[in-house]
Amino acid sequence: MVCSQIDYYRSGTTIAAAPRFNQAATIRGDFFRPNLKNPTDLTSPQNMTKRLPIIRFLALFSASIFVGTSHAKELDLWFVPMSQDGPAKGPLTKWVSENLPKLLPGVTLDNNYGPPIYQDAQQKLIVQGRRGKPDVIEAVLEGMIAYQKAGLIAPIDSEFDKWADKDQFIPSTIKALTINGKLYGVPYNTNVRVLVYRKDLFQKYGIEAPKTWDDLVKDAALISSKEDGVAGLGLTTKNGSVRTFQEFISFFFQVNGGENPFKYNESSKKWEMNTTPEKLAEVLKLYQDVFFAGTPSGANENTRGNDYQATDTDYVSGKSAMVPMGPWLYSYRLTGDTAKKILEEETGVAPLPLPTGGTQATYLEVKPLLINTASKDKQDAWALIKVLASKDFVALDNQTEGVNPPRKDVAELPEFKNNWWQQAFSSQLSTGVALAAINWGYVINDITEAIQKVIYKNSTPDEAGKALYMTLEKRATDNQL
């Protein structure tokens, strides 16, 4: 059984008998002991001829030991959920320490799983990745795109094609990790943004989950006016925040026919704009409406500039009635009775409301496992990726983190199939749109700045949309993407 697992994960790598090393050392010690009676013996041609076969044998034997022991390597893995002090750290690290010796004998992992924050990991990898460490990297999609542009990650098409599990992965998640026709990562974790809402409050006021942006603004304002201390809608609007961007881009995909704001032009080999100033302004108008339409407005003006922690906490503490959200929110039920009651008994999940004439689309998050181009042991790195993207590990991770499985066989497990929360998000996976393979760093800053200009009344949505379009267009022209 162990052998079959070894073959399965290691793809034909043979393991030499490392314990023989000591025996070899003993033999070598005897052989090289000088002949004190006649020291010239060692150099005489006759003796050399006699000893040649033995020398050859020992040379080969030593080489085989060297090759064998060289596989007993310590790989360096950067894996944020195993490094960060969150609910996943304990179970995941325990699983790895218990199962890795059985699944990948001869391979050990450095106990330090890298920086605990994706942004830090990304910066450090860009600076030091060319040294060959870490061998395997867990990342977010935006990070993977930067690594690919920097030539830091290796394509894995041929290895993935040979893997028996390849058909288990949901095609949209594989597509998201494919850049210029090459696959760079294996997904182990995915999710989409949906509308999480307080169904008890909606029932109380006889309304249903909003299906259009107009309804969203109207319902949010209604709840703000009726419920003391509760904002109808919670949004993340902090400057430069990735979450602010993810919420915006989810609404934007709906306006833009489920397409990215940039499109690659094969003939000019450049990225070009794939939207209009009006479409950008339409999304910004939604922000203006939720913050300023109605008295009181749907979103609390005092929460402008909120980061994701405040958005999450506001919802689970009953301060907001709707949020565009990912599945991680469910893990907050462990933080207190109020959060547990709200999430388990009073929460509903619906697709994001649509603008007039919009397309049902949302931001697709995929977390991949990648191989460092400069890794000195890519074969074992790939073997490790297969372990971390295996059914058992993915099931454990996805259940602990409360996210959706990118593997079909994991999604079929009872703990996922019978979980209403998981199902509510999984059912929206098909509407997820992956980000284009550009450097999103500047774009995230540009978009969050445009949002802030509108919600702080420095610009109208039309002005901000036009300015944002021009900035993005210039970035594309100047090859900054």
Pick the binder of other proteins from 61, 264, 292, 442 (CB under 8 A): 442
> For other proteins, how many residues bind (rule: CB under 8 A)?
36
Q: What is the 3-state secondary structure (H, E, C) of 152-200?
A: CECCCHHHHHHCCCHHHECHHHHHHCEECCEECCEEEEEEECEEEEEHH
Shortest spacing between CB 447 and other proteins, in angstroms: 12
Q: Confirm or reject binding of residue 198 to other proteins (CB under 8 A).
A: no
In the bound state with other proteins, the residue whose beta carbon lies nearer, of 35 and 128, is 128
Question: Which range in 82-90, 311-319, 353-361, 383-391 contacts other proteins by CB under 8 A?
Answer: 311-319
Residues 267 and 78: their CA atoms lie apart, in Å, by 38
- Polymer length in residues for the chain: 481
Considering only residues 148-177, where is the footprint of other proteins by CB under 8 A? 149-151
CA distances from 205 to 218, 233, 263, 341, 394 (A): 12, 16, 44, 20, 41
Tokens 């066989």, residue?
A: 409
Nearest Cα neighbor of 372 from 159, 158, 132 is 132
Residues 112 and 266: their CA atoms lie apart, in Å, by 42
* Interhelix angle 277-292/461-477, nearest 10 degrees: 140
Pick the binder of other proteins from 71, 89, 238, 279 (CB under 8 A): 238
Q: Confirm or reject binding of residue 303 to other proteins (CB under 8 A).
A: yes
Tokens 């003993």, residue?
A: 26
In the bound state with other proteins, the residue whose beta carbon lies nearer, of 358 and 465, is 465
Question: Which range in 6-14, 52-60, 328-336, 444-452 contacts other proteins by CB under 8 A?
Answer: 444-452
Question: What x/- string results for residues 93 through 132 when contact with other proteins is judged by CB under 8 A?
Answer: ------------------------------x--xx-----
Tokens 């494919």, residue?
A: 178
Considering only residues 315-354, where is the footprint of other proteins by CB under 8 A? 317, 319
Q: Confirm or reject binding of residue 456 to other proteins (CB under 8 A).
A: yes
Q: Are 394 and 406 in contact (CB under 8 A)?
A: yes
Residues 210 and 221: their CA atoms lie apart, in Å, by 12
Shortest spacing between CB 152 and other proteins, in angstroms: 9
Backbone angles phi, psi at 415, to 5 degrees: -65, -20
Residues 302 and 86: their CA atoms lie apart, in Å, by 29
Q: What is the CA radius of gyration of the chain?
A: 28
Residues 464 and 277: their CA atoms lie apart, in Å, by 9
Shortest spacing between CB 238 and other proteins, in angstroms: 6
Q: Confirm or reject binding of residue 431 to other proteins (CB under 8 A).
A: no
Q: Confirm or reject binding of residue 439 to other proteins (CB under 8 A).
A: yes
Question: Which range in 171-179, 266-274, 304-312, 429-437 contacts other proteins by CB under 8 A?
Answer: 304-312
Q: Confirm or reject binding of residue 142 to other proteins (CB under 8 A).
A: no
Shortest spacing between CB 79 and other proteins, in angstroms: 22
Q: Could you list the residues that contact other proteins (CB under 8 A)?
A: 123, 126-127, 146, 149-151, 229, 237-241, 300, 302-306, 310, 313-314, 317, 319, 439, 441-442, 444-445, 448-449, 452-453, 456, 458, 480
